[in-house]
Chain A
């Protein structure tokens, strides 16, 4: 690997966060914002108990599955949300999902689909952040959704009884 050295010269400046004060500042900022991770219990292929004992709200859940910075479930799934133009085809359609799966089964799929399929592309929305690798600074140490948001999404999916699409 001799000779690669010249690239260190031309690589340009290091990321700002390498300086210690800036790093500590970011660390304290993310500590203040990130909620502590709440453990959950898998029973068979389901999580029967709501996360942190919270109650979900289906109206908020519907907004979360559309929101690109939150669930962004539409990126991969078709859903009965006609006002949104682009529905993904990476995952199966979620029309009528509540007539195929129980609430606890849906919760496990939203929280951590890798428990069912370790090779899946589907993100684990409440997977323990310590499993992630090389997360961008802004998201480090955090779950994708909060426990309340997971419960909202589950509550919304539980309203989807009608099939097709």
Chain B
């Protein structure tokens, strides 16, 4: 066990890149049926657009003081830098730590607009995150992995290779070692984050990235971490950087 958990650290020390040589990121959408992929791309058919619309309303809705996100970022978010949205989670000099897009939205809401903070992954934050990412659809993901981001990225990498739960599995097993294989009825994709939050056909609801992490952990009988925990934020950094170069596809559709 101990040797196994050290192995990725040793590999990481030896290699400049944190993933297998020749690794090419592929979006989860590549594994969808033709029909579902078309539904994802057609804004009139994509059921995730309901959440985009909900987020759009929140974005423009004045709070008790009469302020809205649109005051600073423009109607329809015209003054938002779409390239910058594709770099989250990113290091914040002000917070002295990496912040996820949801946290950034919450920081605006709490510190700049002076409201009570939202709970991580609550309906409002997932709605706002879905809307803002949707505005940046098509932008290439570029998460920093060096400089001040490096320790957090490395910690995410360690968690990604750490075995958890009674079935004693790591993210790495399904999304690297055996990707492309069938796990009973499901094909194992790369576990990329570029489509999140995603609309799930099986549950008819939008699922955040941290919730997806919890579902994977629960599937091998591990105790999930909390949404917004340091563990999930570090995992989000690693998982998202592993998809650097992929385009944002929010809201993607999944089974």
Q: Is A38 an interface residue (CB 8 A)?
A: no
CB-CB under 8 A for A4 and B230, given A75-B183, A119-B4, A121-B178: yes
Count A interface residues, CB 8 Å: 40
Q: Is B78 an interface residue (CB 8 A)?
A: no
Chain B, Cβ-Cβ closest to A85 = B185
Could you say which of A23-31, A51-59, A95-103, A137-145 contacts chain B?
A: A137-145
Residues A75 and B163 in contact, CB atoms below 8 Å apart: no
| A interface majority secondary structure | loop
Chain B, Cβ-Cβ closest to A118 = B4
Number of A-B contacts (CB under 8 A): 109
Min distance, Cβ A145 to any Cβ of chain B, angstroms: 11
Q: Is A3 an interface residue (CB 8 A)?
A: yes
Per the bound structure, the CA–CA distance linking A2 and B173 in Å amounts to 34
Residues A3 and B95 in contact, CB atoms below 8 Å apart: yes
Residues A123 and B167 in contact, CB atoms below 8 Å apart: yes
Residues B183 and A76 in contact, CB atoms below 8 Å apart: yes
Residues B4 and A132 in contact, CB atoms below 8 Å apart: no
Min distance, Cβ A79 to any Cβ of chain B, angstroms: 12
Q: Is B110 an interface residue (CB 8 A)?
A: yes
Chain A, Cβ-Cβ closest to B110 = A6
Q: Is B62 an interface residue (CB 8 A)?
A: no
Which B residues, 76 to 124, have Cβ-Cβ distances below 8 Å to chain A?
94-97, 103, 106, 110, 117-120
Per the bound structure, the CA–CA distance linking A88 and B184 in Å amounts to 4
Chain B, Cβ-Cβ closest to A144 = B166
Residues A90 and B167 in contact, CB atoms below 8 Å apart: no
CB-CB under 8 A for A11 and B226, given A88-B181, A88-B184, A139-B221: yes
Contact sample, A vs B, 22 pairs, CB 8 Å cutoff: A1-B96, A1-B97, A3-B97, A4-B95, A10-B119, A11-B226, A86-B182, A87-B184, A88-B181, A114-B168, A119-B4, A121-B177, A123-B166, A123-B167, A124-B168, A132-B165, A132-B166, A133-B168, A134-B222, A135-B165, A135-B221, A135-B222
Task: List 12 extra interface pairs beyond A1-B97, A11-B119, CB under 8 A.
Answer: A2-B97, A3-B95, A3-B97, A10-B119, A68-B184, A86-B184, A88-B182, A131-B168, A132-B168, A133-B162, A133-B163, A134-B164
Q: Footprint of A on B, CB under 8 Å?
A: 1, 3-4, 7, 94-97, 103, 106, 110, 117-120, 162-169, 173-174, 177-178, 181-185, 188, 218, 220-224, 226, 228-230
